[in-house]
Amino acid sequence: MARGASEQRVPAAYLTARRLVGVLLLLGGLLVASLLAATLIGPTPIRLAAALGGDAGETPDHAIVFQARLPRVLLGGVVGASLAAAGAVLQALLGNALADPHLLGVSAGAAVAGVVVLVAGADPVSPLVPGAAFLGALATVAAVFLGARTGGRTSPHAILLVGVVCNALAASAIMLVNAIASYTQAQGVLFWIMGALSTQSYALVGAVAVYATLGLGWLWRHAHALNLLAAGEEGAASLGVDVERTRRAVFFGAALLVGAAVSVSGMIGFVGLIVPHVLRLILGPDLRLLLPASFLGGAIFLVWADTLARTVLGTSELPVGVVTAFLGGPFFVWLLRRSLRVGTEAR
């Protein structure tokens, strides 16, 4: 198991309050710096004095920074944070290093539900859409988990395969809806598949941030139980963890995070895979630290990925899902090979 391997390599550091606060402050500082830097980077050169000095609506520089870039950068942060935090807990819960909301089809499930509600006529900005996306995410998590579970444990291969099936089913469902929907709606459907960030209102960014923060808080409360659960169900139960209740609660929280993120950004892959992994290698597997660290790290990662997507082609943009896939694809293969190798040695 890859998790076992990372535990071996990282020196067992006890989680002290000082370490927790120190790491989170460091990551928080990095995040703030990233948000500021990303807001100053873009295809259009801006004059800083005009951007910061002018009143709203007075100079183009001011409008570019505060009405175009900042809301988008913030949205990228919130979405990245949600996906990475969901990835971190799913990896622990499923005992599987390759768990990721995108690979498991959870993002796709959320997208299907969101698309159906949109095509049925819901306003794109109404809470119906994230609500439906949340339910779609929840249903897919449950389906993957139940489908891949044998003998009280989910095997890495089974879960990947079930995830592949869920993804394929969801993609087909989206294409089906697309075929039935009118042309007017088809354009909107495409967005869900591509995985792209765009400038949204501060109100919407704030709403997603509320979902994300609630989800993080909810999951963090179960971090200790998840730690025990990751070491083995029987052990966790004997130490007083209500296994089923914890599992349900964590699925619920992860689905909330993924649903909210997908409803505003479509299916952005690999954030939930890369970020928790890199951080686990550095910080160790204790979720009390790893979960909030992934939340902050995911925000940093997606903010920079989107900065690349906004600027690499000049004024024309790439969907950010393209950037994360290019970064995440090779990483995934490396991780898969590593996990297979470790698995063989352990046998």
Buried b (16+ CB within 10 A) or exposed e, 234-245: eebeeeebeeee
How many positions of this chain bind other proteins (CB under 8 A)?
Answer: 39
> Under a CB-based contact definition with an 8 Å cutoff, are residues 321 and 196 in contact?
yes
Q: Which of these, 105, 146, 116, lies nearest to 255 by C-alpha position?
A: 105
Options 314, 345, 346, 347; binder of other proteins; rule CB under 8 A: 314
Establish if 201 lies at the interface with other proteins (CB under 8 A): yes
Select the span of 76-84, 177-185, 325-333, 337-345 touching other proteins (CB under 8 A): 177-185
What is the rounded CA–CA span in Å between residue 76 and residue 303? 5
Q: Which of these, 209, 192, 204, lies nearest to 81 by C-alpha position?
A: 209
Establish if 304 lies at the interface with other proteins (CB under 8 A): no
Options 4, 22, 29, 43; binder of other proteins; rule CB under 8 A: 43
Select the span of 26-34, 127-135, 247-255, 309-317 touching other proteins (CB under 8 A): 309-317
Select the span of 75-83, 239-247, 278-286, 316-324 touching other proteins (CB under 8 A): 316-324
Establish if 152 lies at the interface with other proteins (CB under 8 A): no
Establish if 57 lies at the interface with other proteins (CB under 8 A): yes
Options 7, 30, 67, 131; binder of other proteins; rule CB under 8 A: 67
> Restricting to residues 3-22, which ones interact with other proteins according to CB under 8 A?
none
At its nearest, how many Å lie between other proteins and the CB of residue 325?
Answer: 16
Establish if 119 lies at the interface with other proteins (CB under 8 A): no
In the complex with other proteins, which residue's Cβ is closer, 196 or 212?
Answer: 196
In the complex with other proteins, which residue's Cβ is closer, 23 or 64?
Answer: 64
What is the rounded CA–CA span in Å between residue 298 and residue 278? 11
In the complex with other proteins, which residue's Cβ is closer, 194 or 214?
Answer: 194
What is the rounded CA–CA span in Å between residue 152 and residue 234? 10
- Give the position of tokens 């993002």: 107
Q: Which of these, 283, 333, 230, lies nearest to 3 by C-alpha position?
A: 230
Q: Which of these, 192, 184, 181, lies nearest to 132 by C-alpha position?
A: 192
Options 182, 344, 346, 347; binder of other proteins; rule CB under 8 A: 182
Q: Which regions of 62-145 does DSSP assign to beta strands (E)?
A: none
Distances (CA, A) of 3 to 9, 36, 93, 161: 10, 35, 12, 19
What is the rounded CA–CA span in Å between residue 242 and residue 234? 11
List residues binding other proteins (CB under 8 A). 42-44, 57-60, 62-64, 67-69, 72, 124-125, 182-188, 190-191, 194, 196-199, 201, 310, 313-319
